[in-house]
Amino acid sequence: MTAVNAVARGELAALYGPVADDLPRVDALIASLVQVEFPWLRRMLESTLGGGGKRLRPAIALLAGRLGRYDLELLVPLAASVELLHTATLVHDDVIDAAPKRRGRPTAAALFNNASSVMLGDYLFAHAAEFVTRTGHVQVIRNFTDTLRVMAQGELAQDIAAFEYSRDVQRYLDRIHGKTASLFATAAENGALVTGAPEREVRALRRFGAQIGIAFQIVDDVLDFAATAEELGKPAGSDLLAGTLTLPALLYMESAPDDNPVRRAFAGTRRRANLQRAVADIRASDLLEQSMATARRFADEARAALDALPAGEPRATLDGLVDYVLARRS
């Protein structure tokens, strides 16, 4: 079942407006990767690419393309490259985190093994790069490679900082810009670039993508504490239990900077018990709402960036995606 078929047609049309009917072409291009000679690789690709999803990043690329000459021969491989880049990073993340499930489905690392999963991620990176070269647009290709570098730096920064005690919120924002928001920014900017949108609109779309991407990740970090295991496919507070500090945890630490369960856990004192105590405290507090208020501020900045775009269905649909990002539960 494709990602588009997995979501009710009416819901998809409402969410993605003028590009909803074009997303199946993106899915079809991604699905074409499954047609390989080696059965073991085919099984891995079917498992990894068959999970569906809302295709938010490719939809943003297509919507940005609506502001120029809407050419699906260029936009479909561009949108597919964005989604494959995102998927490849998730495959590698699951190896690093030793995650058994993602969104309730077994990860490639759980189904196969770490070495094969790392190579699978590399395989997807290679195809993402091949797709983006089909645009023939040098700046679009350069943006793609820059984004891959920035995302890798963001993931490295998160991995290196595991269980490192720091109350630096700006450091957190810098990290999530690298690992998440940079891809949203590139999806929006490249969609506009490849179809020849005016430079002012290209800049505005990059800003929109960066700000909605930060809001998206903050919401993700709130859901890590607030959502049920059924909604997320993992226990509440998984990031903190793995030593990753996100905004709710940082605000919690600020509330008692000299002595709190996170500080004690990161110092090696009853690590699991102290982190579970911190997760329970955060869930019972107003810190998740404070974090959502920060997400809404970035969402407002994303909306403000849209002021540079002409009125019409693409702009209105992008504006609606801001509401979706803030309201989602998974």
**Contact, 195 vs 67, CB < 8 A?**
yes
Residues 49 and 120 sit within 8 Å (Cβ to Cβ): no
Instruction: Render each residue's pLDDT in the chain as its tens digit; 330 residues.
Output: 344 444 455 677 789 999 999 999 999 999 999 998 889 889 889 888 876 678 999 999 999 999 999 999 999 999 999 999 999 998 887 777 666 666 667 777 677 877 888 888 899 999 999 999 999 999 999 999 999 999 998 888 888 888 888 889 999 999 999 999 999 999 999 999 999 999 999 999 999 999 999 999 999 999 999 977 666 667 789 999 999 999 999 999 998 888 899 999 999 999 999 999 999 999 999 999 999 999 999 999 999 999 999 999 999 999 999 999 999 887
| DSSP symbols for 112-130 | S-HHHHHHHHHHHHHHHHH
How high is the pLDDT of residue 197? 96
Across 90-243, the runs of DSSP E, i.e. the strands, are 101-102, 105-106
Burial class (CB in 10 A: 0-12, 13-18, 19+), 113: exposed
| pLDDT at residue 240, as a whole number | 94
The pTM assigned to this predicted structure is: 0.92
Is residue 11 within 8 A of residue 23, CB to CB? The reply is: no
Question: How many angstroms separate the CA atoms of 279 and 229, rounded?
Answer: 14
**Cα-based angle 150, 79, 66 (whole degrees, multiple of 5):** 115
pLDDT at 6: 43
Predicted local confidence at residue 51, as pLDDT: 67
CATH number attached to the domain at 3-327: 1.10.600.10
3-state SS string over 192-205? HHHCCCCHHHHHHH
- In degrees to the nearest 10, what's the CA dihedral of 42, 46, 47, 52? 160
> What does the angle CA 229 – CA 249 – CA 260 come to, to the nearest 5 degrees?
115
The domains of the chain are located at 3-327
Select from 95, 204, 124, 186 the least CA-distant residue to 149. Answer: 186
Cα 224 to Cα 324: distance, rounded to the nearest angstrom: 17
User: Which residue's structure tokens are 């540079």?
Assistant: 308
d(CA 296, CA 131): 34
Q: What's the chain's Rg over C-alpha atoms?
A: 20
